[in-house]
A and B are shown apart, each in its own frame.
Chain A
Amino acid sequence: MSRHQSSFSAKILTASDLLDGDVIYLNAAQTWTRQLSDAHLFVDAEAANAALATADLQQQTVLGAYLVDAATGTNGAPTPIHFREIFRATGPSNRFHGKQADLPA
């Protein structure tokens, strides 16, 4: 794989919701969703960074926004690369709580 600086790996923008701390993602309509499958996959750096800068200004809804590496999964929806982000999108493994319980399968 090219390690050239201009190469950009696809990303999604995630954060936590101010009121309940739940994990949220930015969708294609530039609003926030609880569901990873609705997240927008950024394929260019400029748009991703612009979205991050906008999120940082939305202090009344959004905490600690950051970009994470992701790819299109087998189901066509964005899937994060790192296991931490997969846990965030699912919930704890010891109890059926969090997104795995709250969202429609």
Chain B
Amino acid sequence: MYTYSDFDRAFLRNRVAKFRDQVSRRLSGALSEDEFKPLRLMNGLYLMLHAYMLRIAIPYGTLSSVQMRQLAMIADRWDKGYGHFTTRQNIQFNWPKLRDVPDILDALAKVDMHAIQSSGACIRNVTADHFAGAAADEVDDPRPTAELIRQWSTDHEEFAFLPRKFKVAVTGSEQDRAVTKMHDVGLKLVRDANGAPGYEVSVGGGLGRTPMIGRVLREFLPREDLLPYLESILQVYNLLGRRDNKYKARIKITVHEMGLEQLQALVEERLPHQRARFGGAEQKHLSALEQAFTAPAYVTRSSDDFQTALASNGAFRAFVDSNTAAHKNPDYAIVTVSLKSHGATPGDATSDQMRALADLAQSYSHDELRVSHEQNILLPHVHKSYLPTLYVALRNIGLATANIGQISDIIACPGMDYCDLATARSIPVAQQIATRFQALNLEQDIGPLKIKISGCINACGHHHVGHIGILGLQKAGIESYQITLGGDGTQHAAIGKPVGPGFSADQVLPAIERLIYTYLDLRQDPEEDFLAAIRRLGLTPFKAALYGPKEAANAA
């Protein structure tokens, strides 16, 4: 893992000291709220429905056990003993007090963490495949690239006041686990015909009120052109992105309005100048960063115990089936720890759970943890011989739920339980669905299914790319939930299609049940998952299940 240099640490100390001074001037009255608000937002501090909220970046979702323990300490000392992991690979604390925030930021800085650029019209926390450095199908590790982008974009003065926020995601695999097509810029590490490393660059993806799938701006960008090319894209966007209407200010609208070819031409025009400006210094730095992300010192052990447990323990086998994935070292597994035990709040972890996960990472995963955009925690490098012990340890702390990728592994934004922007609640809907399908004992039978819930049109809960998407709105003074079907956040990105009028809070669960029973009735065989069935059958039978046959015919 990357550890901060003296330069990074000095920068961060200075930044926290500045914010401490700003808070004290706010408290003394020297700064008005209008003056202070942009300053606190630059440091990740929002004012939400019930309290302040501090959003802390976890760049490319990577944490050490020391960092995870520090988050637990912060949760206990300055918050209410838990944190919420988000779809942006951030963690949010829901109850900090204004005067404590500088101390929290100091505590974060001690473990090389910060809340910088987790808000505002700037380049946000860079996200990546949570399997990075571990996935069996990986071409190259996305983390050195992501760290380079983090360093380049942090406090980049020219891009501190963009037309709107700007999100970059990086993947190193064909299987896109980082939703790169739904980011302002999505990078996929690829090799050219000669094996030289580079990137496929997508631009203009995004969710929110105008969902758009990113389009390929450059099929192969040589590795050495990365920052010059990103700098060029951001310069064009900074200059030509719309500032007259915040709903049209994201780069997806710029691409849509000027056309991809025009953007390509403008970026290419700037590239030679930027290339000369960088002069290759950043490439030397990237090579150095690669040394920070080498493979762990793998252990060699017998996996006999693992095979025995697999053969004899059904619950363990179910856990291995759903919560582990293929590691690039065949003796290892990637373990996903579900933060979605049935009825729990998706993405929430208590301080005790954080500490326990830190201990487990230290003992069994080469001291590494990951946060996924699907709001789970991963132990990326677990030797298979440790899996039986790890499973028991997870069970003892209530974290062995075997539901990854299944109907109860739901993404949900905080919604109107916490968020100031929300139009309806998300969390109770997720809780109801998870609890209900556990009671029906249907999860395993239903198989792979992604439900994603947002509490407003801004789509933090990624509902547009849910196989079933649920969007909470308000209608006639009550919460109303719109359902979309067929969304997909992978390399086969698709935006879910709305099926019809919304459902009230007490009708949304019965609606989901009708969808699921329709799928179970109509699937060709258990191998055909929900999304495949939607693609084959179209929406009509599902609309009929939701609204009755007549309405479905009219709506079709």
Contact = CB atoms under 8 A, between A and B. Distances in A.
B95 A97 contact: yes
Interface in A55-105: 59-60, 63-64, 81-84, 87-88, 91-95, 97-99
A94 to B, nearest CB: 5
Interface stretch (B180-188, B190-198, B423-431): B423-431
Q: Is the interface of B mostly helix, strand, loop or mixed?
A: mixed
Given A18-B98, A63-B33, A82-B477, A94 B52 contact: no
Interface in B510-526: none
B479 interface: yes
Contacts of A46: none
Contacts, number: 73
B418 interface: yes
Given A92-B417, A94-B427, A59 B50 contact: no
A60 B29 contact: yes
A13 interface: no
A87 B428 CA distance: 13
Contacts of B394: none
A22 B479 CA distance: 24
Nearest to B32: A59
B33 A59 contact: yes
Contacts of A91: 50
Interface residues of B, number: 31
Contact of B98 (A20, A60, A83, A94): A20
A94 B431 contact: yes
B478 interface: yes
B382 interface: no
A98 B51 contact: yes
Interface centre among A21, A59, A81, A88 (most CB of B within 10 A): A21
A83 B26 CA distance: 32
B25 interface: no
B390 interface: no
Contacts of A21: 47-48, 50-52, 97-98
A50 interface: no
Contacts of A20: 51-52, 97-98
Contacts of B97: 19-21
A63 to B, nearest CB: 6
Nearest to B426: A94
A9 B94 CA distance: 33
B478 A83 contact: yes
Contacts of A35: none
B47 A93 contact: no
Contact of A88 (B49, B348, B425, B474): B49
A83 B47 contact: no
A83 B427 contact: no
B273 interface: no
B12 to A, nearest CB: 25
B427 A93 contact: yes
B416 interface: yes
B50 A95 contact: no
Interface of A: 16, 18-23, 59-60, 63-64, 81-84, 87-88, 91-95, 97-99
Give the top 6 A-B pairs by smallest Cβ distance, nearest first: A92-B417, A21-B51, A21-B52, A98-B50, A94-B427, A20-B97
15 contacts: A18-B26, A19-B98, A21-B47, A21-B52, A23-B49, A83-B474, A87-B49, A87-B417, A88-B50, A91-B50, A92-B417, A94-B348, A94-B427, A94-B431, A97-B50
